[in-house]
């Protein structure tokens, strides 16, 4: 019998009802029963995942989901480099491997394009940028933000797909000037950049959903709130042991692992 039977027997009490709803609301309504269970355990409630799932179903607490994958924009063969990353998605320290990609967001003013750079060690978004058009400037601004924020040593690998923004002369020149190692997915193989794709999937399911923003400015504000106020500092990520990317890197800084 699970040690948290106390919580299970009192699952209908006002206190535990409030705890479950509080954990769910704190996530913006995007946490499923697994992450809610972790939140409850950290607050001192000893409950099993199975019991939390049943209680959330009974109370109508369901994680929000939204629209799916974006259309792919691919460049030609010029500027394509080898897949150096080769799906090695688990570096042993920060600032060793970054991945980047582009997605789109609907607004009444037209599309808003978002480029993001992620550190694979912690899954933290270390740089991002938005533009009304999908040009090389979009991805360069995201990468510049990452370089400014992280100030990495030479030799960071930056992995992308073969989109024309990443095969451009401007992109290649930036990588060379900052002593970064380029890597690209094989053409048409989204699994080679699966972690970046996964972040965009979470962004759309947990925040953007199926809404259409009145303006690009409103969409940018929502993206900022999701990345900087929720995803990086708060959102629990299974890859890093159900803690946030920021907390995972904080522990690395303290203990070196």
- Entry pTM: 0.71
Residues 107, 22 share a domain: no
Q: Is 227 a domain residue?
A: yes
Q: Is 177 a domain residue?
A: yes
Report pLDDT for 5: 41
Q: Is 76 a domain residue?
A: no
Q: Is 200 a domain residue?
A: yes
Number of domains within the chain: 2
Q: What average pLDDT does the segment 172-199 reach?
A: 90
Q: What average pLDDT does the segment 190-217 reach?
A: 91
Higher pLDDT, 12 or 115: 115
- Tell me the pLDDT tens digit for each residue of 170-179: 999 999 999 9
Residues 226, 146 share a domain: yes
Residues 217, 102 share a domain: yes
Residues 156, 209 share a domain: yes
Higher pLDDT, 58 or 244: 244
Q: What is the CATH number of the domain that holds 128?
A: 3.30.420.10
Q: Give the confidence band of 189 by pLDDT, cuts at 50, 70, 90.
A: confident
Compute φ and ψ for 129, nearest 5 degrees.
Answer: -155, 155
The span from the CA of 235 to the CA of 29, in Å, is 12
For tokens 């995803």, the residue is 231
Contact between 110 and 216 under an 8 Å Cβ cutoff? The reply is: yes
- Tell me the pLDDT tens digit for each residue of 133-143: 999 999 999 99
Report pLDDT for 197: 93
Query: What is the domain extent for residue 41?
Result: 5-59
């Amino acid at each position: 019998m699970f040690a948290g039977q106390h919580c299970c027997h009192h699952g209908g009490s006002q206190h535990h009802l409030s705890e479950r709803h509080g954990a769910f609301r704190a996530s913006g309504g995007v946490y499923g029963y697994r992450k809610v269970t972790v939140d409850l355990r950290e607050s001192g409630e000893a409950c099993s995942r199975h019991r939390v799932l049943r209680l959330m179903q009974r109370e109508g607490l369901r994680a929000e989901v939204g629209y799916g994958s974006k259309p792919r924009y691919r460049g030609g063969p010029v500027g394509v480099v080898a897949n150096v990353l080769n799906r090695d998605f688990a570096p042993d320290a920060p600032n060793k491997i970054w991945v980047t990609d582009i997605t789109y967001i609907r607004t009444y003013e037209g599309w808003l394009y978002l480029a993001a750079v992620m550190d694979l060690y912690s899954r933290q978004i270390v740089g991002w940028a938005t533009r009304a058009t999908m040009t090389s400037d979009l991805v360069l601004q995201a990468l510049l933000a990452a370089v400014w924020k992280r100030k990495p040593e030479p030799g960071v690998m930056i992995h992308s797909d073969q989109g024309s923004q990443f095969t451009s002369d401007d992109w290649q020149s930036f990588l060379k000037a900052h002593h970064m190692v380029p890597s690209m997915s094989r053409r048409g193989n989204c699994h080679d950049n699966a972690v970046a794709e996964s972040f965009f999937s979470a962004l759309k399911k947990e925040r953007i959903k199926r809404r259409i923003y009145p303006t690009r400015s409103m969409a940018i504000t929502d993206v900022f709130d999701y990345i900087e106020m929720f995803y990086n500092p708060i959102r629990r990520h299974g890859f890093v042991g159900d803690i946030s990317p920021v907390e995972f890197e904080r522990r690395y800084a303290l203990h070196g692992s």
